[in-house]
Chain A
Amino acid sequence: MMRRRLGPARIALLLHVLAIAFAFGCGGGPPPLNLPPHAMVIRLADADDVPTLDPAAGYDTVSWTFEQAIFDTLVRYGDGNIELEPDIATAWESSPDATTFTFHLRADARFSDGRTVTSEDFRYGIERVLNPATRSRGMEYYRGIAGAADFAAHRNPHVSGIDTPDNSTIVFHLGAPDPIFAHKLAMPFASAIPRDVAEKWGDDFSRHVVGSGAFMLREWIGGQRLVLVRNPYYFAKPLPHLDAIVESVGVNQELQWLRFDAGQIDAVVDIPPAEFPYVMKTPALRKLTLAKTTVTTRYLGMNCQMWPFTDVRVRRALSCAIDRHKLIAILNGRGVVARGVMPPNLPGYDPDLEGYDYDPAKARALLEQAHLARGFEFEIWMRADQTILMLAQSIQQDLAPLGIRARLKPVAWGPFLEAIRQPRTVQSFMQGWEADFPDPENFLGALISRAQWGSNNDSFYSNPEVEQLLAQAEPVADLKKRYALYDQAEKIVVADAPWVFLYYPVTYIIRQPWVHDYVINPMRPTRFEHVWLSPHPD
């Protein structure tokens, strides 16, 4: 997953805010909540409105936070880890060649309107994503199911590779082996969707969602507030502990912090960078924080087709010239020095990978070998964001003594993605990648392979040896063998240095002392089923 937040949502939010300002007149706050007097309510806040609640549409952290609460998938991850756990499926098995996956569903799961969840609802959810009319970005994950192409081309009313022999069994037949297919079913795209409700509302389903998850949508006032309440039919009794989740919208980072300080918000996902050192220096606040290294890698991509980065020595020189510890210091310690493509916490991560150390003398020697002893000038593109610009300026500082003049080009997210995907257009760029599912394929295959040129492989790197290893590894179901092949590929990539591996971000959240069992997941937003609150002042 490439980004955490949707850009255009800001504009939509602004329009919503304006519309609401007109509707209520100035000074009209949101209407009262009307929850029972002793209800257990967690209060959250965010700057932007939730982009969507439709599992076929959402592909960002904020949408997924609430989709996870409202919908169920066949399998899911643990609260604080990335191990697959049963959700609606109580058991599952795959054929030895990893082409057939069978899931057995529990019989007591019900949608928040009381109807029982069946295997048909999962089939409909995936067919909805595969239907081109839905324009879902999750489509690519389910294309491997046999008959998906025929269904998308309207040659078949159903995906022939999805079997529902009875209400509590669903079988997936794949066109080619895919040992990690079960992980793809843990993404919210593959949620159980009640067909009658989704078809009744069509494109407006997002505002009238009905799912089988622990919570259900009570109210969504665009630009103001989203309220979820407990689903009385949720199968995992007595969960959830919370009676409601209230997300206030239009509260920027600084304001969130002030409100947290005043006890008006129960948890803050983004501690403002300026406040962070203060929080860490104050023991009372520090013990309220939680930290976890996310399954994310941040890097400086260098276009291997453009001068001077066609020369591997120049790419290695840059890898030695940048002080990663300084970058992490600028982030107030919220990161781990990166040594390769794959982040820690990702299965298959190699802790012994050598990577590159900060060594300006070695960088200078490499530049001399490349006949660039006097340095050169190049351009770094990045998203126009204060933190990223700060890091880029630090890189600029590090390169200056070597005679390398980096010009910084901050641009908006949309044009940025557009530009870096064009061949021979952008010399280098600051980018990051967050895992969609815990497998090396989601890093090496998704970012480094030749097939991803013009899509996610924006350094236009390609090495036949790596290609061969990736092709070899993809169908291997034996994890040890699989990871060994990917590890071999990663070592070649690190030596070829198409990126300067910068850091693996560490995420920090802070919650009030009365919030319990709030856990960070390294790859997904926090889940709320187990969260509970002890009595506290309002």
Chain B
Amino acid sequence: MNIRRLVTLETVGAAMVTVLVIVAIFAPMLAPHDPTIVVAPTFGDPGAPTLAFPMGTDELGRDVLSRIIFGARISLTVGVAAMAVTMTIGIAIGLCSGFFGGAVDFILMRFTDLMLSLPPLLLAMALVAVLRPSLRTIFIVIGLVSWTSIARVVRAETLAMSRRDFVVGAAALGAPSRRLIARHIIPNVLPIIVVMAALRTSDTLLLDAALSFLGLGVPPPTPSWGRMIEEATIYFRTAPWLATFPGLAIFYAVLSFNLLGYGFLRRRSQ
């Protein structure tokens, strides 16, 4: 058994993601305290890390470690749900555009260009401000603003696939478009979709953190990493741990999905 074969980018990534998923699922059992209640009277003067509170307590007397653990739930839910919305829209538009070509392709791709020209964070802020900030709003909004690159990649792959002999052959035998897409095209563009999904998840995590940081994320008291950093900014000089730990948590989550994604990508191109 070769260890170096086992320790690849994707297995490290997968292991890190698994840890994240376990933490999120078993948060109530893993977290030492309820993340919204007062555990220490450190009001207005955050408590430094101690044995009892390894990551300290915040300005409202809440345990930072418990908030980070529960924050994993929000980040993971938003990350995965937003990625699903992103993928659904991106794949649908990419497939139609690449498969049907012509006017359909032109219209869909110009629409994609239009969306690409808008800065995603600005667009997301506007949408959240109009809709009401809630968990569902957040992942719908993130999905709505980040499907464009998926659509382009899927279109390119579909375009290449639909010119392959086996697809042209099936079409010549009279297979309907639905069957061609479902049986021949999707299975062949699936690998790139998986890679994109892993990579996009880290982007959605960052976008969620940015929205929370701007006060547009999941409303309090639900702990989210981005909001924790925002609330810690005024204490950055006196209680740097308040911002450091959620920052590390975001770093970990983004890194794990990126490793997974790049691992898949490398395996595919080998």
Binding site for B on A (CB under 8 A): 254, 272-278, 326, 329-332, 384, 386, 389-390, 393-394, 396-397, 400, 407-408, 410
A509 smallest CB distance to B (angstroms): 18
B234 smallest CB distance to A (angstroms): 5
A298 smallest CB distance to B (angstroms): 15
Docked CA distance A393–B60 (Å): 8
Contacts A386-B231, A390-B60, A400-B36: A410 and B44 contacting too (C-beta < 8 A)? no
Given A331-B44, A410-B215, 14 other A-B contacts at CB below 8 A?
A254-B234, A273-B234, A274-B238, A277-B45, A326-B38, A384-B215, A386-B231, A389-B220, A393-B60, A393-B220, A397-B60, A397-B221, A400-B36, A408-B220
Query: Is B41's CB within 8 Å of the partner chain A?
Result: yes
Please indicate which of the listed interface residues A276, A330, A407, A408 has the most CB atoms of chain B within 10 Å of its own CB: A330
Docked CA distance A394–B60 (Å): 7
Asked if residues B220 and A326 are in contact (CB atoms below 8 Å), the reply is no
Asked if residues B44 and A272 are in contact (CB atoms below 8 Å), the reply is no
Asked if residues A330 and B234 are in contact (CB atoms below 8 Å), the reply is no
Interface members, chain B 229-244 (any A CB < 8 Å): 231, 234-239
Q: Interface majority SS on B: helix, strand, loop or mixed? A: loop
Q: Interface majority SS on A: helix, strand, loop or mixed? A: helix
Asked if residues B60 and A272 are in contact (CB atoms below 8 Å), the reply is no
List residues of chain A with CB within 8 A of the CB of B60. 330, 390, 393-394, 397
Docked CA distance A14–B151 (Å): 39
Size of interface on B: residues with Cβ below 8 Å to A = 20
Asked if residues B59 and A330 are in contact (CB atoms below 8 Å), the reply is yes
Nearest opposing residue in chain B for A257, CB measure: B237
Nearest opposing residue in chain A for B45, CB measure: A277
Asked if residues A278 and B238 are in contact (CB atoms below 8 Å), the reply is yes
A273 smallest CB distance to B (angstroms): 6
Asked if residues A329 and B41 are in contact (CB atoms below 8 Å), the reply is yes
List residues of chain B with CB within 8 A of the CB of A332. 44-45
**B31-53 toward A: CB 8 Å interface, digit per residue (1/0)?**
00000111001011100000000
Contacts A394-B60, A410-B215: A274 and B37 contacting too (C-beta < 8 A)? no
Query: Is B54's CB within 8 Å of the partner chain A?
Result: no
A-B contact pairs, 28 of them (CB 8 A): A254-B234, A273-B44, A274-B234, A274-B236, A274-B238, A275-B237, A277-B44, A277-B45, A326-B43, A329-B41, A330-B59, A331-B44, A384-B215, A386-B231, A390-B59, A390-B60, A390-B231, A393-B220, A393-B221, A394-B43, A394-B60, A396-B221, A397-B36, A397-B37, A397-B60, A397-B221, A400-B36, A410-B215
List residues of chain B with CB within 8 A of the CB of A386. 231, 234
Query: Is B219's CB within 8 Å of the partner chain A?
Result: yes
Contacts A386-B231, A396-B220: A330 and B37 contacting too (C-beta < 8 A)? no
A275 smallest CB distance to B (angstroms): 7
List residues of chain B with CB within 8 A of the CB of A276. 44
Docked CA distance A408–B220 (Å): 7
Asked if residues A397 and B43 are in contact (CB atoms below 8 Å), the reply is no
List residues of chain A with CB within 8 A of the CB of B41. 329
Docked CA distance A272–B235 (Å): 9
Asked if residues B44 and A330 are in contact (CB atoms below 8 Å), the reply is yes
List residues of chain B with CB within 8 A of the CB of A396. 220-221
Docked CA distance A306–B237 (Å): 43
List residues of chain B with CB within 8 A of the CB of A329. 41, 43-44
Contact among A254, A330, A407 for B219, CB-based, below 8 A:
A407
Docked CA distance A212–B219 (Å): 52
List residues of chain A with CB within 8 A of the CB of B44. 273, 276-277, 329-332
Contacts A273-B234, A400-B36: A408 and B43 contacting too (C-beta < 8 A)? no
Docked CA distance A212–B248 (Å): 59
Contact among A254, A330, A389, A390 for B237, CB-based, below 8 A:
A254
B58 smallest CB distance to A (angstroms): 10
List residues of chain A with CB within 8 A of the CB of B36. 397, 400
Asked if residues A274 and B221 are in contact (CB atoms below 8 Å), the reply is no
Docked CA distance A276–B220 (Å): 25
Please indicate which of the listed interface residues B59, B237, B239 has the most CB atoms of chain A within 10 Å of its own CB: B59
A498 smallest CB distance to B (angstroms): 26
Docked CA distance A384–B220 (Å): 13
A409 smallest CB distance to B (angstroms): 8
| Closest CB pairs A-B (n = 3) | A329-B43, A277-B45, A332-B44
Interface members, chain B 220-268 (any A CB < 8 Å): 220-221, 231, 234-239
B238 smallest CB distance to A (angstroms): 5
List residues of chain B with CB within 8 A of the CB of A394. 43, 60
Nearest opposing residue in chain B for A334, CB measure: B44
